[in-house]
Structures are given as structure tokens and as C-alpha cells.
């Protein structure tokens, strides 16, 4: 056992750090859009835009530790992750590679890999949230065009997206589901927006009424509900590198604490968070080590998401505690524009600007991060199954196994038809 | 970065595990806790024959050259079996103090007996007024006739009743809480002026209150440099934290697994209680608490093996905080999920809970280590 990186890994870490230092404005408070665009071009040019994909599809072939190093460095410097952790790279691309048709792969993969198209996911429905098996959005088709109908809600990042990935039920095989690509500017989409509780993050609601799409826009083979139920809003490696972002935020909190008068309660909270962070770091390292060896994770990924989410919420709470009353100012979202904020001047210390919104935004993120909105309960349910904690009667086990087989068979038939 | 064990470490783990599974059942352990000695001298001899008592010592000192990781591996399995033999007091604390701070002569004098199982030891460091502050000492050692005379009182000395030698912290200079002026001495437990009051602890072990009244020791009883013993004592205590923390991790694993099994078989309202979602979630939380403790245990062991310093101290304190919190959570939930039976003396669950509760207090509780972590 040893904590230190091997020489080869250290070299890689130095290479990644040098790359980020060269192409990202490290330490700069407000990053300009031109700088973000330059960073994206550099990452794509370097061939690191889809590192976790198979090499033949443009992946880097990194091992688990190298992925971890990349994620850690990116998180530490708070680099733009809107493409790297967007739905195109983390969900649509991998699904296309694993189960997509050739025509769909040809149509979409190159643009996703080149960070030329942005995707968002339409998973939720007004009546069933993210429970795929209860969804009513339906796609039909008889060998020609697809016909898509239904309502989707709580779609993140639609305003910036080019494509919408819609999870829909197959019209003639109700047990099976597919992922369908819909251009965001499709005239058949009726879109409305809501602002979430942080006052900044937007979620979209989309109505689709018999909209017609080319057949290659059906991205995947039909599959049972559970295949889609486990869609995640971030990659495995990003999930296992969250501690770096927490550590960076804790450093900023320490800088603030140093300016405040001694407060024992705050110190206890800060130290408690630091110990939790140390625990998360240690867990992440064990998981990455297991991945590198091809062994099962010591802790189910669901619980890693849950734990890192809890700690991120703690960070927000501690930040609010640090600033006391100055966490209260709640500027109009229009003033969230960093340039405007800069000209106007913050209310209270500059570090306090928007801490409440950040904490609330983290709450919103946690909702989507935790099992695509199904929340703590679903994550723990799944972990309980994983850990074989849940007791099942023998009749129930037989019944479930039979149902799963039936579903798989049905999905196979639907695939042939579509 | 590497979390795998070497072949030797795996062999050691297998050997200790097999012995505990085959020869150290809960009923026998309970009988031992009720015996006069509180542990089995026969078991102790077997540990020595199997080489376990020499694992943490260097080959030059007659040991097997193991480090913190090996000690952690053994302690974790001891925790699963609730071992009552005084590995912590004799090997980790007493042997550790001599290993880290002793001269070649002192090592030659004491370590062979410790390793072959013929010598029992105890670390007498705590005082009634000091709580977890290692430098808060009223026990004094004054120079006399080329040696020292020790006067004072030591509280809750683990393995005190069986100890042949005591490693005693005493103030050779400075004020009561000064960090300088602390010295460690190896004292014959049967020396004139040493009196003990022995008693059992809540978790079935043995301890003593020890009074030192004009106890004369030679100059070569001093461990390390005079007045600079606090660093050595901290090092030994941190090794002890890794050891008891690893025990706690082992105990938590048993509690979690036993609770899962129990909930799969215990039926209420016509079905196993493990089918109830709220109970499943509690067990998921127990699992997570155990895994977080285990992760920090590995970090602490690796840091200690890298070399003793602030990084290692910080890792040890983080581990102790986690073990304190997790141990309480896992222990309390195991008792609750076992229902009324969980509270009885017959079931092993309550005994693991008691050990975990004691471990939280040993060598500094959650609050103490949270503060220490923040200071480092």
C-alpha cells in the first residue's frame, strides 16, 4: 500500500497541470466567453474531449488513475465542464457507442466528440418525474419517419443546447424504451421555462405533439425501463473526483475564515467538513484503485454520489455561516452578469457575493445528480439492492427474474420492428 | 498509488483470520472476560509462537519488520473477534515506546521478552486531571543518586494488572501543562513504591489505578531524551489510535453484516424486516459509515508508514474522528435493529457496541481530535 503516485502517474499529472495552466485562465475570478471558447478548442485539439470513450471512438485510453488525475486537476481549477460533463459526452455518446445504430453513430458522434453540438436530456415527465416505467411520451414508426408525442419537464440547459435527447416509450411495444434525438429548434416543440430556487438555473418544459423525425434520430435499440432509469448526469470519473472541487472551495473558505474574528463554532464546523472531505478523498482513491485493477468498487457509485452531494451541501452551508448577514442579499438575476456585478460593486465582501445562490444552486444540482432527480431514497434503494441488504422472498425473486426475461425478450422484438 | 496488500501481508491476514475463526469464538471470549486474568495466557503464547507479537518490530530487534499496515491488518481482525489479549497495551504501546524511543541496550533488554510473550507491559500516561492532554502531568521524576525518583498517580492503565513493566510519563521539569519537560521511563511494575488498584473495564478488559511513591529508577530507565518525551508519547499514542481504530473498523464490519443477516431472517407482519425500506436505508448508512472509516484507516496507516510527522498526525486524527462518529452510529443502529435482543448480554451485538463506545473515548474523543485536526 502507498499513497504517492508512481513516477509515470506523476509525469502524467504534471502534463495535465501544464496543459490546464497553458489553456485555462487559472485563478481568474470572472472568465470571459472568449477564454472559454479557446479552452474548448484546446481540449478538442489535444484529443481529450471524450476521454472515457473507447479509443476507436476518440477516447484517450487512459487508465482509471489517469482519468482521476484529469478530473481532479479540472475540478481544482474550476475549468469549464459544460461539454465535458454535458449530456452529449456523458450520456448520449456512450449510449450510441454501446447500443446505437450505425446511421445514428455516423450522424451524431463526430459532432459530440468535437464539442460542436450540445445536448440536454428530457427524462422527467410531469406525472411521473424520472420513473421511466411510468412515462407516457411515445415514439412510433413504421419503418419510415418517427412520430414523437408527449410532455417532458425539468430539462436542464435546454437554452444552450442544439439537441434534445428524449426518452420515449415504443408505441407498439409498451415495455420498451428508446432515446430519440430532437433538434431544439424543431417547429413542433412547444417550450416554456421555469427558474429554480437559486434564481438563476433554468429548467425547461417541452410539449411535443406528433412531431416527425427521420428514423436515424432514434439513437438506441429498444431496451427495458431500467436501462434508462440509471442514466446519470455526470460521468463515473467525475463522480469519483468531487473531492478536488470541495477542497478548492474549502481553501476559499479558509481564506475568509482567516479574516473573521475567532468563532469556535465555525471552527468546529470547518474542521468537521475537512474530516468529511478527507474521508471522501480516501474513498475516492480506493474506488479509483479498484477500477484500475478491474475490481468491483468498494462502495457502490450511488453512495459516492450521495456522499459527495452531502458534502457539497455542507460547503454551501458553511459559506453562508461564514458571511452571516451578508449571505442575505439576493440580487436580481439580471445582476448575476459578472461584468455588471463588477461595475456595480458587490453588497458586502466580494467573497460573499452570491454565496446563498451558490448554495441553492448546489441544492438544485444535487436534485439532478442524485439518480437523475429520483433523490436520496432511490439511490439508497439501489445501493441496498447492490449490497444485497434487501431481503426478497423466493417467490418474489422468481417472479422478478421472469419479468426481466420477458421484458428483454419484448425489447428484442421491438428492436427488430423499429 | 496502490491499495493492494503484499503477499506477506495477505498471508498474515489469512493466518490471523483463520485462527480467530477456528479458535476464538464469542463464548470462549466471554469466559475469558470473567476470568481473573481477563485474557488467556495460552492464547498469548500461541500468538507469540505464530510470530504475531513480533510483527511490528524490526528484524534487528528480533521482529518481522512489519509497520503500521501490518499492525492495522492484525488489529482489524482482532476487532472482529473482540480479542481481549493485551496486544494494544503490550505490543503497540509499551513495545512501541521502546521501539521508537529506546536505546540499543533498552531494546535488547525488553523487546525479546515482549516478542516471545514472556513480558507483559502497560503504558501509564493518563492522569485524573489531564483528560486527553498528554502533557498535563502532576507525576514527577526527580534526579537522585544518578537516577530518578518517581512520585505520582496514573489513571486507567490498560493491562496494568498483568504488566511486568510500565512505561510511565512524568514531568522532569516545567509547569504542569508545559509541552517541554515530559520524560518517559521504563519501570518495573513490581518495584518498591508501586501500588495498584485493579478493575475490569466496561468492555471486559483490565486496567489499574497506579500510585508511584518514591519509586527509584536507574538513569538507564529513561526512554529518549530527558524532557523531550512528549513527541515520543504522541507517536506511541498515534500508533495506538491506528490500532484501536482498526479494531473499531473490524467491529463495525461484524455489526453491519450481522445486522443485515438478522434483518433477512427476523420476520414481523409476515415478512422479513429487511424488506422494510426504512431499515434497508439504515443498513446502507451503516455500510457507508464503515467504509468511510476503513478508507481513513488505510490513509492513516500509509501516512504512518511514510514517516511520523504532521501529515501522519492529521491522518490519524481524521481517522479517530470518523471512527468515533461511525462507531456510535453503527453500534446504536445494530442494537436498535436487533430489537430487545440487541440489548442483552447474551448476544454479541452489545459487546461490540461497548467496545466501540470505549474506543471513542480512548486516546481522545471526537471533539478532541477534531480540534487537533484543525490545529495541525
The listed range with the strongest mean pLDDT (A92-106, A207-221, B44-58) is B44-58
What per-residue confidence (pLDDT) applies to A404? Answer: 39
- Tell me the nearest-neighbour CA distance from A396 into chain B, angstroms: 12
> Is there a contact between A389 and B271 if contact means CB atoms under 8 Å apart?
no
pLDDT band at residue A233 using 50, 70 and 90 as cut-offs: low
Which helix (DSSP H) or strand (DSSP E) does residue B155 occupy? Answer: strand B147-158
CATH 2.40.110.10 domain position(s) in chain A: 118-229
CA A12 – CA A6 distance, rounded (Å): 10
List the single residue in B69, B275, B318 with the smallest CB-CB distance to A278. B318
Q: Between B264, B295, B370, which is nearest A391 by CB?
A: B264
Q: What is the ipTM of this complex?
A: 0.91
Cβ neighbours of B69 in A, within 8 Å = 1
Sort out which chain B residues have CB atoms less than 8 A from A3's CB and list them.
1, 299, 302-303, 306
Q: Which residue, among B304, B318, B365, would best test binding to A if mutated, counting the most A CBs under 10 Å from its CB?
A: B318
CB within 8 Å of chain A, chain B residues 220-279? 260, 263-264, 271-275, 277
Instruction: Report the top-level CATH class of A240-386.
Output: mainly alpha
Buried b / exposed e over B246-271, threshold 16 CB at 10 Å, is: bbbbbbbbbbbbbbbebbbebeeeee
- CB of B48 within 8 Å of a chain A CB? The answer is no
A392 in contact with chain B, both atoms CB, cutoff 8 A: yes
Give the separation between CA A239 and CA A302, rounded to whole angstroms. 10
End-to-end CA distance of chain A: 52
Show pLDDT as tens, one digit a residue, over chain B (376 residues): 889 999 999 999 999 999 999 999 999 999 999 999 999 999 999 999 999 999 999 999 999 999 999 999 999 999 999 999 999 999 999 999 999 999 999 999 999 999 999 999 999 999 999 999 999 999 999 999 999 999 999 999 999 999 999 999 999 999 999 999 999 999 999 999 999 999 999 999 999 999 999 999 999 999 999 999 999 999 999 999 999 999 999 999 999 999 999 999 998 888 899 989 899 999 999 999 999 999 999 999 999 999 999 999 999 999 999 999 999 999 999 999 998 888 888 899 999 999 999 999 999 999 999 999 999 9
Q: Cα-flanking dihedrals φ and ψ of residue A396, to 5°? A: -65, -40
Characterise B122 by phi-psi region: left (phi > 0), alpha (psi -120 to 50), beta (else). Answer: beta
Distances (CA, A) of A212 to A114, A121, A146, A417: 27, 19, 6, 18
pLDDT at A394: 47
pLDDT reported for residue A402: 42
CATH assignment of A118-229? 2.40.110.10
Q: Where are the CATH 2.40.110.10 domain residues in chain B? A: 122-227
Adjacent-strand bridge partners of A341: none
Residue among A78, A311, A323, A358 at smallest CA distance from A200: A358
**Chain B residues with CB inside 8 Å of A279's CB?**
292, 295-296, 318, 322
Instruction: Give the separation between CA B233 and CA B230, rounded to whole angstroms.
Output: 5
CB atoms within 10 A of CB A167: 26
How far apart, in whole angstroms, are the C-alpha atoms of residue A213 and residue B278? 45
Using DSSP bridges, classify how beta strands B165-171 and B206-217 pair: parallel, antiparallel or unpaired.
Answer: unpaired
- The alpha carbon of B258 is separated from its chain's Cα centroid by a whole number of angstroms, namely 24
Count, in order, helices (H) and strands (E) of chain B. 11, 10
Does B296 contact A380 at a Cβ distance shorter than 8 Å? no
pLDDT in the model for residue A296: 92
CATH class for the region spanning B122-227: mainly beta
Could you tell me the fold of the domain covering B7-119?
Butyryl-Coa Dehydrogenase, subunit A; domain 1 (1.10.540)
Q: What is the pLDDT of residues A253-276, one digit of tens each?
A: 898 888 877 788 899 999 999 999
- Strand locations in A127-172, DSSP E? 138-141, 146-156, 163-170
Query: pLDDT tier at A339 (50, 70, 90 boundaries)?
Result: very low
Residues of chain B with Cβ-Cβ distance to A384 below 8 Å are 280-281, 283-284
Query: How confident is residue A331, by pLDDT bands cut at 50, 70 and 90?
Result: low
Q: List every span in chain B annotated with CATH 1.10.540.10.
A: 7-119
**Chain A positions in Cβ-Cβ contact with residue B298 (cut-off 8 Å):** 1, 282, 286
Residue for grid cell 457507508: B288
Is domain B231-375 given the CATH code 3.40.30.10 in the classification? Answer: no
Which residue is it, cell 439511490? A379
Segment (H or E) for B194: strand B194-200
Amino acid at each position: 500500500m502507498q499513497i504517492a503516485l508512481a513516477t509515470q502517474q506523476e509525469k502524467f499529472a504534471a502534463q495535465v497541470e501544464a496543459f490546464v495552466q497553458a489553456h485555462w485562465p487559472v485563478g481568474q475570478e470572472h472568465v470571459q466567453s472568449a477564454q472559454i471558447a479557446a479552452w474548448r478548442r484546446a481540449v478538442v485539439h489535444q484529443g481529450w474531449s471524450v476521454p472515457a470513450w473507447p479509443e476507436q471512438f476518440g477516447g484517450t485510453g487512459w487508465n482509471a488513475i489517469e482519468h482521476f488525475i484529469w478530473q481532479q486537476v479540472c475540478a481544482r481549477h474550476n475549468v469549464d465542464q459544460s461539454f465535458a460533463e454535458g449530456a452529449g459526452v456523458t450520456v448520449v455518446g456512450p449510449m450510441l457507442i454501446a447500443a446505437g445504430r450505425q446511421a445514428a453513430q455516423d450522424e451524431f458522434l463526430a459532432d459530440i466528440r468535437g464539442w460542436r453540438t450540445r445536448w440536454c436530456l428530457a427524462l422527467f415527465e410531469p406525472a411521473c418525474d424520472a420513473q421511466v416505467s411510468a412515462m407516457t411520451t411515445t415514439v412510433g414508426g413504421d419503418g419510415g419517419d418517427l412520430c414523437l408525442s408527449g410532455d417532458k419537464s425539468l430539462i436542464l440547459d435546454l437554452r444552450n443546447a442544439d439537441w434534445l435527447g428524449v426518452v420515449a416509450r415504443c408505441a407498439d411495444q409498451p415495455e420498451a424504451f428508446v432515446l430519440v434525438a430532437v433538434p431544439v429548434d424543431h417547429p413542433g416543440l412547444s417550450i416554456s421555462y421555469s427558474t429554480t430556487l437559486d434564481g438563476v438555473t433554468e429548467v425547461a418544459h417541452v410539449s411535443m405533439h406528433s412531431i416527425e423525425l427521420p428514423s436515424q434520430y432514434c439513437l438506441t435499440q429498444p431496451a427495458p425501463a431500467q436501462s434508462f432509469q440509471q442514466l446519470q448526469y455526470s460521468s463515473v470519473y467525475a463522480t469519483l473526483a468531487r473531492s478536488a472541487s470541495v477542497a478548492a472551495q474549502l481553501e476559499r473558505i479558509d481564506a475568509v475564515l482567516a479574516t473573521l474574528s475567532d468563532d469556535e463554532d465555525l471552527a468546529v464546523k470547518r474542521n468537521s467538513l475537512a474530516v468529511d472531505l478527507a474521508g471522501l478523498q480516501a474513498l475516492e482513491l480506493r474506488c479509483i484503485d479498484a477500477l484500475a485493477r478491474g475490481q468491483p468498487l468498494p462502495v457502490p457509485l450511488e453512495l459516492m454520489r450521495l456522499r459527495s452531494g452531502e458534502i457539497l451541501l455542507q460547503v454551501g452551508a458553511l459559506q453562508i455561516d461564514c458571511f452571516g448577514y451578508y449571505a442575505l442579499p439576493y440580487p436580481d438575476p439580471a445582476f448575476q452578469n459578472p461584468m455588471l456585478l463588477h461595475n456595480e460593486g458587490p453588497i458586502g465582501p466580494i467573497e460573499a457575493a452570491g454565496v446563498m445562490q451558490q448554495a441553492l444552486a448546489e441544492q438544485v444540482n444535487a436534485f439532478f445528480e442524485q439518480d437523475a432527480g429520483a433523490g436520496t431514497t432511490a439511490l439508497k434503494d439501489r445501493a441496498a439492492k447492490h449490497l444485497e441488504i434487501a431481503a426478497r422472498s423466493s417467490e418474489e425473486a422468481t417472479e422478478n427474474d421472469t419479468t426481466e426475461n420477458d421484458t428483454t425478450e419484448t425489447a428484442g422484438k421491438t428492436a427488430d420492428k423499429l | 498509488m496502490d491499495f493492494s496488500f503484499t503477499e506477506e501481508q495477505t498471508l498474515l491476514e489469512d493466518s490471523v483470520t483463520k485462527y480467530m475463526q477456528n479458535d476464538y469464538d464469542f463464548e470462549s471470549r466471554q469466559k475469558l472476560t470473567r476470568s481473573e486474568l481477563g485474557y488467556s495466557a495460552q492464547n498469548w503464547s500461541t500468538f507469540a509462537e505464530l510470530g504475531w507479537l513480533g510483527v511490528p518490530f524490526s528484524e534487528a530487534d528480533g521482529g518481522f519488520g512489519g509497520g503500521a499496515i501490518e499492525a492495522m491488518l492484525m488489529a482489524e481482525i482482532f476487532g472482529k473477534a473482540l480479542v481481549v489479549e493485551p496486544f494494544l497495551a503490550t505490543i503497540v504501546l509499551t513495545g512501541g515506546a521502546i521501539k521508537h524511543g529506546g536505546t540499543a541496550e533498552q531494546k535488547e533488554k525488553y523487546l525479546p521478552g515482549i516478542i516471545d510473550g514472556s513480558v507483559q507491559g502497560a503504558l501509564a500516561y493518563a492522569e485524573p486531571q489531564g483528560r486527553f492532554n498528554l502533557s498535563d502531568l502532576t507525576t514527577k521524576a526527580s534526579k537522585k543518586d544518578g537516577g530518578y525518583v518517581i512520585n505520582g498517580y496514573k489513571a486507567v492503565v490498560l493491562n496494568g494488572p498483568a504488566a511486568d513493566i510500565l512505561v510511565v510519563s512524568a514531568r522532569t521539569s516545567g509547569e504542569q501543562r508545559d509541552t517541554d519537560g515530559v520524560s518517559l521511563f521504563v519501570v518495573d511494575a513490581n518495584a518498591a513504591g508501586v501500588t495498584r488498584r485493579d478493575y475490569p473495564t466496561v468492555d471486559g478488559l483490565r486496567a489499574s489505578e497506579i500510585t508511584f511513591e518514591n519509586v527509584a529508577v536507574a538513569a538507564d530507565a529513561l526512554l529518549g531524551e530527558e524532557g523531550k518525551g512528549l513527541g515520543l508519547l504522541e507517536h506511541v499514542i498515534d500508533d495506538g489510535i491506528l490500532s484501536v481504530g482498526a479494531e473499531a473498523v473490524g467491529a463495525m464490519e461484524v455489526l453491519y453484516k450481522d445486522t443485515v443477516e438478522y434483518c433477512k431472517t427476523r420476520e414481523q407482519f409476515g415478512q422479513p424486516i429487511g424488506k422494510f425500506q426504512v431499515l434497508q436505508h439504515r443498513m446502507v448508512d451503516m455500510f457507508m459509515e464503515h467504509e468511510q472509516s476503513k478508507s481513513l484507516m488505510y490513509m492513516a496507516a500509509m501516512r504512518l508508514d511514510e514517516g511520523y510527522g504532521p501529515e501522519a498526525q492529521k491522518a490519524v486524527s481524521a481517522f479517530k474522528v470518523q471512527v468515533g462518529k461511525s462507531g456510535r452510529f453503527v453500534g446504536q443502529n445494530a442494537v436498535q435493529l436487533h430489537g430487545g435482543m440487541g440489548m442483552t448480554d447474551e448476544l454479541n451485538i452489545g459487546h461490540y457496541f461497548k467496545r466501540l463506545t470505549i474506543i471513542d473515548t480512548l486516546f481522545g474523543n471526537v471533539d478532541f481530535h477534531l480540534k487537533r485536526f484543525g490545529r495541525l
